[in-house]
Amino acid sequence: MPKDFKCLYCDCYFSSRQAYAQYVNRTHYDINDTQTGWEESLSSITNENEEYEDQNMPPASHEYEDVLENTDVVSNFSKNYDINQTSQSNFDQSDRFEESNMEDYYSFEQVSPDRFEESNIEDYDNFEQVSPEREENVMEFPNEAYADLMELFIKHNLNNKTGNAIIKFFDKHSNLSTSPLPKNIEAGRKLMDIMNVQKLPYSKHCILDYKNKEYFVYYRPIKSCIESLLSNPDIIKNFIYKYQFLQSDGETLYSEQYSGNWWKNAEASIRPEAHILSIILYSDATTTDSLGKSSLHPIYISLGNIRTWRRNKEDAKQLLGYLPILSANNEGQTSRFKRLAPRETFHNSLKFLLDPLFDEDGIDFKINNKNIWFFPRISTVIGDWPEACTFSLTFKSANSNYPCHFCQTHRNDLTSIRKDCIIIRNKENMQEYYNNGSAESIGLEQVYNYFWTIPNIDIYAVTVPDRMHHLDLGLFQYQIEYTKELLGKSLEDKMNRRIAIIPRHPGLKIFAKGVQSIARLTASEFRDLMKVMVFVVDNLLNKDLSEVYVRWNRMYLMSRFERFTESDLENFQIAINEWADLFITLFWDCSSGMKMPKLHSWIYHIVDTIRDFGAINGYTTETYESLHKTYVKIPYRLSNKKDVEMQIMKNIRRRAMILRNQVKETKTPRALTYTAKLFIINFSNITELCNQQKNNPNINETMRKGFKEFQNCLYEYLSELKKSFTEGSLIKIFGSVTLKNGAILRATNKFHGRPWFSNIAVAMNNEELSKYQSDKGICYAQTLLITEVNVPNESPFHLVLVQ
């Protein structure tokens, strides 16, 4: 390899100008010569095979050059690093590396290993800081064009090469003597990193020094996260301050978290003029690449005061930080290391992150320019089963003697114990085991639990069962696996053939090869299987096999209710028990005695959890999993894979700066969305329309049948309501309507050239059951017409004519 570039400061040679520039940046940053000086020296070196990247740049000068040049260096070392106050130091080397291809980085030649190691590792711990005077002066972008460029660059995850090409194109064709844009994208990023933006501090803190290796928690102060949420005006519109006792037909109603018993009890423990601030934590380690060779452990925060539908939006959640992941190396088998990873370190990290919230006198947060007195309380911890065990410090293994983090039930009794014999775990009895040194005898780690010190929290109850991991990726996956084992090879092949020939349908995934690779299916794909498995296994083995899927679907649909009365909870528990009894009987020989903690937790604890924290929809990980893409996957891909957490935190801060002034009002979800309008008439013309269309040969027979019966059915409906439509009432007939749950109902002559009249299931009122033939309260029908009736000064009537 040719060596065309010799370093001006040492005896190293390099094959490319870019490699040399990077090397100087990393190893000779402390030389008194300014960057401009060595750039001029560098440009004097010639290479016939290489052109300088900015050689063809237009002559326009850049008024806003890199604002960090010639910044004073502060070399004080601290274990707490403020990312807001980092400048053109080794902390920013990660950004310089993004500027070029990694191939050039590996083309360094004749760099001594000692010097390379020193510049690559040790210097990362010696941060240069922007002087306070300089930082205070950088409050916003120099101009609108500059801001728009950085918004474009960050919003669309562009790389440096693309960003610099945009700058070059603009400077070439703008005909401006002075460019409003930065010299390059790197300069723009550095400007953003020193901008003094409130509520956007990011830092890192050394939480553990073990065997000469430091482990850091990269974080954003939790008060800052909460302030960001409370500064969003659209969130405040859907923000609840007080417990609400709800009733329906004289029964207690549980829906949002603020209607649950936990909120009621927590509110009773504070001053009446203060308010509960419900903290929801979600934690889950995730891989950063497709090979799974590296991972990060993010933790997020949201507020239970926000209504569930609004809290499910991404901007109603904040990244709190990245927890340290201890690498095992050769120490992986030592008992001390096993205890440290992830138990003591995990809880020490949480203590560092959460302690600022728990002041005895509460905390004031500003909402709409008014100080509101809150007492923050952790309401729910959302995560999969291993994560819940880490929070509660119970044994993670399903084979431990006491695997449930809710109660002290022995593994041999998980599915057979009586509900009134269950001993619930709580702070008092678990702390007694810990103090006696006998924690492991009850499936508890001999490690002090940080949550024992926090008021109004029972960590063993707030680690709520997550429907996605308990059902979609848990019990239903077991049910599929046990079904395959029960069927045997021949019938399993027949089952896969049945799955493969299912015709395409909107919103339904097609499994062309059956369920051969079930371990790789996602939660969404398992939900698609739930829709068809009851038909796939019909008459395949015996009636019990199809019945277990029927009972599963009934139970699963009830779990998605947005509100539960006491009678609903009783029916839900009955549905759970009916499915579980058949599941245990049918698959007993396939599961080694049904010693499954998730099955036990779902049977015995989910209903009590609904009473405490509201409907399950309010604490499922389904809406949190997508955060990994925003806060882990994409930022990791944009990094140079060196000092990853720090680069990611900076990337997220820049994105937050761009988006902080772009808060968009979220529309309240509509229960019905009509499309494909077919007819619109006055109520007085209904007879004329029905007479025309019931004999119209150009429409489908099903729709003609609908028009034949529409007028009589509508009049009968109005007479039961004792209503009459006045002049000016409009009747609209549509081809389709989208329901709140996303399902689409159709009644149209042509959908992609074919008629489509949806088949539906109707849950009948008890007083009407005797009039219809039903299947346990469910009637099946075909849609004939979809209508909306608008009456002056009244809410519209949404009516569907079915047969």
Which has the minimum average pLDDT: 385-389, 423-427, 592-596, 725-729?
725-729
pLDDT value for 381: 94
pLDDT tens string 731-777: 889 989 888 777 888 888 888 888 888 888 888 777 777 777 777 77
Whether the per-residue pLDDT at 565 is higher than 70: the answer is yes
Which percentage of the chain shows pLDDT scores above 90?
33
Section 58-72 average pLDDT: 41
Q: Is the pLDDT of residue 77 over 60?
A: no
Query: Residue 589's pLDDT is what?
Result: 85
| pLDDT tens sequence across 596-613 | 999 999 999 999 999 999
According to the model, what pLDDT value does residue 117 have? 33
Least reliable range by pLDDT among 123-137, 175-189, 325-339, 547-561: 123-137
Query: What pLDDT does residue 82 have?
Result: 44
The per-residue pLDDT for range 137-179, each reduced to its tens digit, is 577 788 888 888 888 888 888 888 888 999 999 888 888 888 8
**190: phi then psi, degrees, rounded to nearest 5:** -65, -35
What confidence tens digit (pLDDT) does each residue in 406-418 have? Answer: 999 999 999 889 8
| Range with the poorest average pLDDT among 67-71, 177-181, 193-197, 421-425 | 67-71
C-alpha distances out from residue 193 to 46, 123, 165, 317, Å: 34, 19, 22, 23
Distance of CA 90 to the CA centre of its chain: 32
The C-alpha R_g of the chain, in whole angstroms, comes to 32
Candidate from 26-35, 163-172, 254-263, 295-304 with smallest mean pLDDT = 26-35
| Contact (CB, 8 A) for 439 and 430 | yes
- Is 0.85 surpassed by the pTM of this model? no
635 burial (CB, 10 Å; 0-12 / 13-18 / 19+) is buried
- Of 271-280, 328-337, 652-661, the range with the highest mean pLDDT is 271-280
Any residues with CB less than 8 A from the CB of 710 and at least 6 apart, and which? 686, 690, 784, 785, 787, 801
Residue 406 · residue 417 · CB < 8 Å = no
Closest residue by Cα to residue 525 from 538, 539, 544, 512: 512
Over the chain, what is the mean pLDDT?
A: 79
* pLDDT surpassing 70 at residue 365: yes
pLDDT on residue 26: 66
Please give the residue that has the higher pLDDT: either 511 or 389.
389
Q: What is the mean predicted confidence (pLDDT) over 253-259?
A: 94
Check pLDDT > 60 for residue 363. Answer: yes
Q: Which two tokens stand for residue 597?
A: 């903690």
pLDDT band at 132 (very low <50, low <70, confident <90, very high): very low
Q: Taking the CB of residue 198, how many other CB atoms lie within 10 A of it?
A: 11
78-92, 202-216, 227-241, 316-330: least confident range = 78-92
Residue 63 has pLDDT above 50, yes or no: no
| Mean pLDDT score, 644-648 | 84
pLDDT classification of 338: cutoffs 50, 70, 90: low
Backbone torsions φ then ψ of 700, nearest 5 degrees = -65, 150
Average pLDDT value for residue range 195-214? 80
CB-facing half-sphere around the CA of 606: CA atoms within 13 A: 31
For 220, the token pair is: 């954003």
- Identity of the amino acid at 673: T
Q: Is 768 or 264 the better-scoring residue by pLDDT?
A: 264
pLDDT on residue 340: 59
**Which of 80-84, 433-437, 640-644 has the least mean pLDDT?**
80-84
Work out the end-to-end distance of the chain between its first and last CA atoms, rounded to an integer number of angstroms: 80
Indicate the pLDDT class of residue 667, thresholds 50, 70 and 90.
low
How many other CB atoms sit within 10 Å of the CB of residue 420? 5
